[in-house]
Amino acid sequence: MPRTRCCNLPAATLVLGVTACVLAGCRSTPLHANGDTAPTRLCRAEVAWEADAGASSSWVRTKATYDRVGLRPTAWVATAEGEAQGGGGGGGGDLAKAAQNPIASLISVPFQNNTSFGIGPENRTQNVLNIQPVVPVSLGTWSLVNRMIIPVVHQPDPSSAERAWDGIGDINLTSFVVPPAFGPVMVGAGPIVQFPSASSTRVGSQMWAAGPSAVVVATLDKWVLGLLVNNLWGLEGDGADDLNRFTAQYFVNYNLPKGWYLTSAPLITADWNAPSDDRWTVPFGGGIGKIFKIGKQSCNASVQAYYNVVTPDGGPEWSLRCQLTLLFPK
């Protein structure tokens, strides 16, 4: 059913403002002929979670948190999920393309802000700022790329017009073992671990979880293409209370002159414990970004918008992603 939308935004985030400023007109120094860049996701729960976990602004229902009357979801909780776009850069090529590669050998610190609109019957707005440091470690001709996602969450109560909670969500750590590249193609695989670091069950699951993660990236002329997938299972609880969540993110980047680029990196999620007709979140959209310098500091900024073609009942209809990444090439 159509819903009246209202944009009662939470407090404006620093990242959104800085990113908008950069893309709107900050002077920049192109680093290469081509442009650049290369994820929170969200979960539903009541007071006790069944699941959680970046990033971007995807949604998944955790536990069967319904009212007995009408089977309406009673609460949504935000968490961080790994995003390919939040990845680092580096390794053998220009900085623009490396920054779009989540398993390249470059230290980076992305600040990714995800704002989701139209949550619940009150059309609330949620905000998740993901701090996503990426630290690669050389293993001879191989490498180990470590990415942590620390979510700072503003979580509205969808059943209320005003009530909301703020705090730190569950932290995720992914470690990709990366062999030498196969021509233009790189692959990586390794574990993803979720720590029960959430400050409350309103902003995270407070649950240990782990699973496999894999990524493949191809760099072809001006294109950087790839796919990242993982699945998290809860390590505590049993039966329907276990966390069982799938995440897939394809990313498509086309590099333009003077450091500009076009990008699309939607975060597709599935909660395997949810009913089949209320399981998937499938966004569609994209945006634009630019590689630039502030003094000697290399940076990458982008703005993207996504419409949720498929979303669980009560989930957001669209989201805005703003990202500023500090790049530290060797």
Structure token pair of residue 209: 């979880």
Q: How many alpha carbons lie under 13 Å from residue 239 in its C-beta half-sphere?
A: 2
- From the number of C-beta atoms within 10 Å of its C-beta (0-12, 13-18, 19+), residue 172 rates as buried
What is d(CA 7, CA 275) in angstroms, rounded to the nearest whole number? Answer: 29
Residues 6+ apart with CB under 8 A from 174: 82, 146, 147, 190, 191, 192, 193, 213, 230
Half-sphere exposure at residue 249, Cβ-oriented, CA atoms within 13 angstroms:
33
For residue 116, is pLDDT > 60?
yes
Query: Is the pLDDT higher at 52 or at 284?
Result: 284
Which SS3 state, helix, strand or coil, does residue 257 take?
helix
How far, in Å, are 54, 85, 90 from residue 102 at the CA level?
A: 14, 7, 9
Q: Which residue has the higher pLDDT, 235 or 26?
A: 235
pLDDT over 90 percentage in the chain? 60
| CA atoms of 254 and 100, how far apart (whole Å) | 10
What is the arithmetic mean of pLDDT over 197-222?
94
More confident residue, 86 or 116: 116
Whether the per-residue pLDDT at 276 is higher than 50: the answer is: yes
Inter-residue contact 63 to 50 (CB < 8 Å) = yes
Annotated domain spans of the chain: 37-328
Q: Which of 16-30, 59-73, 114-128, 185-199 has the lowest mean pLDDT?
A: 59-73
* Mean predicted confidence (pLDDT) in 107-121: 94
Reported pTM = 0.74
Phi and psi for 19 in degrees, rounded to 5?
A: -65, -45
CATH 2.40.160.40 fits 37-328, yes or no: yes
Q: Is 48 helix (H, G, I), strand (E, B) or coil?
A: coil
Q: Is the pLDDT of residue 52 over 70?
A: no
The pLDDT of residue 213 is above 70: yes
- Residue 36 clears pLDDT 80, i.e. is over it: no
